[in-house]
Amino acid sequence: MLALRKHISPGWWLVAPFFLLVACLYLGPILNILWLSLSDPEPGLQNYSKLVESDTLARIMWTTIRICVITTGFAVILGYSIAYAMVHAYRREQSFMLTFLLVSFWISILVRTFSWLMLLGRKGPINEGFEAIGLISEPVAFMRNELGVLIGMVHYMIPYAVLPLLVNMQTLDQRVMSASRNLGASASQTFFRIYLPMTTPGIVASALLVFILSLGFYVTPAVLGGGKVLMVAEYISVQLLVTVKWGVAAMLAALMLAGVLAMLWIMSKFMKLSTVFGGASS
Amino acid sequence: MSDKQFMRETLVEGAHAFKAGKMDRRTFLALCGATGFVSASVLAGDAQAAADHVVMWNWGGQSEECHGSAIGEAFTAATGKGLKFDTSGPLEGKIKEMVDSGNVTADVADADLFNAVSLGPTGHLEAIDYSVVSKEKTLPGYALEHGVSIILYGYAFVYDTEAYGDNPPENWADFFDTEKFPGMRSLYKWANGSLEAALLADGVAGDALYPLDMGRALSKIKSIKDNSLYWGSGSAAHSMVVNGEVSMGMIWQNRGRNIENDTDGRYKLVNNQALAMPGAYIVPKGNPAGRDAVMKFIATAQEVDAQLKLLDCLGMTPSNPAAFNKIPEGQQDYAITSAKNIEKIVYNDPDWWGKNGGDAVNAFLEAIS
């Protein structure tokens, strides 16, 4: 007890009840989900064996991962450009850009999804405009397919990609870049050999954030995919609400959770996660 | 569960206890204050009345206003009890969750009759009391142990008169024929109606649909997959048509009426071979208002007057045969049980859907994704 007291600051005893409460409120439901995946409709592993038996589930998983990877790629590349521009803009412009970024961050996902539908739909201004100037003879199918889902998701994810990158870029020591130029490196050499490696923690952080959030996307694929792009989150919701196969839904939810944790674990093998989330790097 | 809902339930519980004499007036008033029930009605009598109502669980939007005027007013006049709404949509999974959690907050759910088949035997629903509710006031086969059909809605389709004005499509076979009628189609995403339409298009007779031949239906669905979009809500179905995304769209027939009006008749509704879906009232097990009150409510909804008002307000078709020949002239085209349409419609089998619906939805999703 005395040894324990030495290691634990007495302040923790004050926090302990709340900490325990929060831990229970988080862990309880998660354990319940895990239990459901093993016990509904009957005890056993039959929900998990469906993963191997049914190509539908494999296909849904594959669609989800494919869309999430592409979304992450585009969102991070675009987000990197925006963050780079913001860091190097004058203070006034910077705050303008930040305001626009945050405004789009605050607009509801439904509104943003339906705006794309109106803008890029068959009778939207883009298609009508292109047709009017004779660029295309048939409306381009931007929406109600995988392309539509990707456009909607990348757009939604850009602010999430920008913010970690922005924080990372703002903390860089600009003198390092000046030194590189001073020592004779060209601008692109400086960027690729000095700047880019120094922003790796920011890139990893924003990619992780975007990828994990993309996994749970539900509204955008359901609306912009025209019913043909089925991702895990929507499938889970159908199994919960319509077909009432809670075991399958819980199994998929548990799998997604395990996937995210596994990803974090693999990441931690390559780099200190605390640097990704803004901690000290040493 | 939202805080608001929690507060409301606390108050209702309190009102019950107060009424039963288990709680004194002062405690009850304090409870009223604590739950934010702070208006002129912090009179014990009024708050107590909060317990004397039936909560209807429906889909919101217009249906709230329409259920109130068509059924609620008559119900209040007859019993003195009010009608309140929970508009979060009684999907099967939500009903199951509500009953399993032991925290039942709705008295009657505006659901599908097949829900009564799947949730009834598992003990999630109260049985319908046919000494209060009438089996004669709905179509034969649509008064089941745990649910009774109050209205019918139909899966019909609308087409673009500008695309097919000279030679309009007349049935599901035309709907699935993209050579004769080129253009995009839209179908319901959760299989219901879509499977039946595919089989009818493939030449299966309307009275020989069930049990559904899934393989045959899905291959027909896949045959127009490249030309199809799929909708999951009435508003999505509506917007796909009026935004010109499809030239023929499957639609709930009451939405078809709105589309004809919104587009000044450019899109026209076809009710031939419409699939009649029994919309049913079902009662979650252990509903708060008690079984007697809710059965009276369901009986009120069966009356011809309520049925005709629902048709007028929501476009839902009466299921009470006594109302069929009272459907007004202006609604004849849109109501699927009107003299004009009733011979041409095909009836859904809630028993098949209740027992096979989950697997059918998953097979359908697999085929379209």
**In this structure, is residue A272 part of a structural domain?**
yes
What is the share, in percent, of chain B residues with pLDDT greater than 70?
A: 86
**In this structure, is residue A48 part of a structural domain?**
no
Q: Which of A222, A223, A242 sits opposite B92 (nearest CB)?
A: A242
Number of C-alpha atoms within 13 angstroms, CB side, residue B128? 25
A242–B190 CB contact, under 8 Å: yes
Give the range among A110-119, A267-276, B253-262, B274-283 with minimum mean pLDDT: A267-276
Phi/psi region, residue A113 (left: phi>0; alpha: psi -120 to 50; beta: rest), is alpha
Considering the four listed CATH numbers 3.30.470.10, 3.40.50.150, 3.40.190.10, 3.40.50.720, the one that applies to the domain covering B3-151+279-324 is: 3.40.190.10
pLDDT band of residue B50 (cuts 50, 70, 90) is very low
Please give the DSSP secondary-structure letter assigned to residue B22: S
Question: Distance from B17 to chain A by nearest Cα, in Å?
Answer: 30
In a mutagenesis test of the B interface, which of A113, A126, A243, A248 is the best target, namely the one with the most B β-carbons within 10 Å?
A243
Alpha carbon of B137 to those of B81, B130, B151: distances in Å?
23, 11, 11
Number of C-alpha atoms within 13 angstroms, CB side, residue B359? 9
pLDDT band of residue B52 (cuts 50, 70, 90) is confident
Question: Distance from B338 to chain A by nearest Cα, in Å?
Answer: 31
A246–B229 CB contact, under 8 Å: no
**In this structure, is residue A15 part of a structural domain?**
no
Size of interface A-B (CB pairs under 8 A): 64
pLDDT band of residue A124 (cuts 50, 70, 90) is confident
Pairing of strands B228-231, B185-188: parallel
pLDDT band of residue B28 (cuts 50, 70, 90) is low
Q: Identify the CATH number of the domain defined by range B152-278+336-368.
A: 3.40.190.10
The mean pLDDT of A48-72, rounded to a whole number, is 92
Number of structural domains (chain A) is: 1
pLDDT value of residue B165: 83
- DSSP-derived 3-state class of residue B343: helix
In a mutagenesis test of the A interface, which of B362, B364, B368 is the best target, namely the one with the most A β-carbons within 10 Å?
B362
Give B302-342 pLDDT, tens digit per residue.
999 999 999 999 999 999 999 999 999 999 999 999 999 99
In a mutagenesis test of the A interface, which of B245, B246, B364 is the best target, namely the one with the most A β-carbons within 10 Å?
B245
Alpha carbon of A26 to those of A21, A22, A258, A277: distances in Å?
9, 6, 16, 21
Q: What are phi and psi of B171, to 5 degrees?
A: -155, 180
pLDDT value of residue B39: 43
Task: Give the sign of the dihedral formed by CA B62, CA B65, CA B71, CA B72.
Answer: positive
> Are B163 and B277 in contact, with CB atoms under 8 Å apart?
no
Respond yes or no on whether the N-terminal peptide bond of residue B211 is cis (omega within 30° of 0).
Answer: yes
**CATH code at A138?**
1.10.3720.10
pLDDT band of residue B358 (cuts 50, 70, 90) is very high
Q: What are phi and psi of B51, to 5 degrees?
A: -80, -15
The answer to whether residue A280 scores a pLDDT higher than 70 is no
What is the share, in percent, of chain A residues with pLDDT greater than 70?
A: 94
B369–A226 CB contact, under 8 Å: no
* Spatial CA neighbour of B109 closest among B245, B285, B238: B285
The answer to whether residue A95 scores a pLDDT higher than 60 is yes
pLDDT value of residue B49: 45
Rounded to 5°, the CA angle A198-A200-A204 comes to 160
The answer to whether residue A282 scores a pLDDT higher than 60 is no
Task: Kindly report the number of other CB atoms within 10 A of residue B54's CB atom.
Answer: 27
Same fold, B3-151+279-324 and B152-278+336-368: yes
The mean pLDDT of B32-54, rounded to a whole number, is 53
Give B267-294 pLDDT, tens digit per residue.
999 999 999 999 999 999 999 999 999 9
The mean pLDDT of A110-130, rounded to a whole number, is 90
Contacts of B229 in chain A (CB under 8 A): 144, 226-228
Q: Which of A59, A227, A243 sits opposite B229 (nearest CB)?
A: A227
Give B170-196 pLDDT, tens digit per residue.
999 999 999 999 999 999 999 999 999
The answer to whether residue A63 scores a pLDDT higher than 60 is yes
Give B150-164 pLDDT, tens digit per residue.
999 999 999 999 999
Q: Please give the Cα distance from A223 to A245 (Å, whole number).
A: 23
**In this structure, is residue A16 part of a structural domain?**
no
The answer to whether residue B7 scores a pLDDT higher than 80 is no
Question: What distance, in Å, lies between the first and last C-alpha atoms of chain B?
Answer: 33
Mean pLDDT, chain A, integer: 89
Chain B, window 76-135: residues with a beta carbon less than 8 angstroms from a chain A beta carbon: 91-94, 96, 118
Is B215 an 8 Å CB contact of chain A?
A: no
Instruction: Write the DSSP string, chain A.
Output: -HHHHHHS-THHHHHHHHHHHHHHHHHHHHHHHHHHHHHSSSSSSHHHHHHHH-HHHHHHHHHHHHHHHHHHHHHHHHHHHHHHHHHTS-HHHHHHHHHHHHHHHHS-HHHHHHHHHHHHSTTSHHHHHHHHTTS-SS----SSSHHHHHHHHHHHHHHHHHHHHHHHHHTS-HHHHHHHHHTT--HHHHIIIIIHHHTHHHHHHHHHHHHHHHHT--HHHHHHTTT----HHHHHHHHHHTS--HHHHHHHHHHHHHHHHHHHHHHHHHS-HHHHTT----
**In this structure, is residue A25 part of a structural domain?**
no
**In this structure, is residue A135 part of a structural domain?**
yes
pLDDT band of residue A9 (cuts 50, 70, 90) is confident
Q: Which of B225, B243, B358 sits opposite A244 (nearest CB)?
A: B358
Q: The domain containing residue A58 runs over which residues?
A: 54-276
Question: Distance from A105 to chain B by nearest Cα, in Å?
Answer: 25
Amino acid type, B116: A
Residue at token pair 């208002």 = B289
Pairing of strands B108-112, B147-160: unpaired
B93–A122 CB contact, under 8 Å: no
What is chain A's length?
282
Q: Which of B225, B245, B369 sits opposite A121 (nearest CB)?
A: B245
Amino acid type, B205: A
pLDDT band of residue A50 (cuts 50, 70, 90) is confident
Question: Which of residues B230 and A14 earns the better pLDDT score?
Answer: B230
Q: Please give the Cα distance from A242 to A54 (Å, whole number).
A: 19
B361–A228 CB contact, under 8 Å: no
The answer to whether residue A68 scores a pLDDT higher than 60 is yes
B231–A227 CB contact, under 8 Å: yes
What is the share, in percent, of chain B residues with pLDDT greater than 90?
A: 79
B365–A226 CB contact, under 8 Å: no
pLDDT value of residue A123: 84
Q: Please give the Cα distance from B75 to B119 (Å, whole number).
A: 27
* Spatial CA neighbour of B203 closest among B162, B172, B247: B172
Please give the DSSP secondary-structure letter assigned to residue B17: H
Helices B234-242 & B253-262, crossing angle to 10 degrees? 30
The answer to whether residue A20 scores a pLDDT higher than 80 is yes
Please give the DSSP secondary-structure letter assigned to residue B241: H
The mean pLDDT of B212-227, rounded to a whole number, is 96
Q: Please give the Cα distance from B177 to B156 (Å, whole number).
A: 16
This prediction's pTM: 0.85
**In this structure, is residue A17 part of a structural domain?**
no
Question: Distance from A262 to chain B by nearest Cα, in Å?
Answer: 28
Instruction: Write the DSSP string, A57-99.
Output: HHHHHHHHHHHHHHHHHHHHHHHHHHHHHHHTS-HHHHHHHHH
Structural domain boundaries of chain B?
A: 3-151+279-324, 152-278+336-368
Q: Please give the Cα distance from A216 to A68 (Å, whole number).
A: 10
**In this structure, is residue A3 part of a structural domain?**
no
Q: Which of A223, A230, A244 sits opposite B369 (nearest CB)?
A: A230
The mean pLDDT of B64-76, rounded to a whole number, is 94
pLDDT value of residue B26: 67
Number of H helices, E strands in chain B: 17, 11
Give the range among A23-32, A269-278, B228-237, B352-361 with minimum mean pLDDT: A269-278
From A60, which residue of chain B is nearest by alpha-carbon distance?
Answer: B369
Mean pLDDT, chain B, integer: 89
B369–A246 CB contact, under 8 Å: no
pLDDT value of residue B30: 65
The answer to whether residue B6 scores a pLDDT higher than 60 is no
Give B73-129 pLDDT, tens digit per residue.
999 999 999 999 999 999 999 999 999 999 999 999 999 999 999 999 999 999 999
pLDDT band of residue A79 (cuts 50, 70, 90) is very high
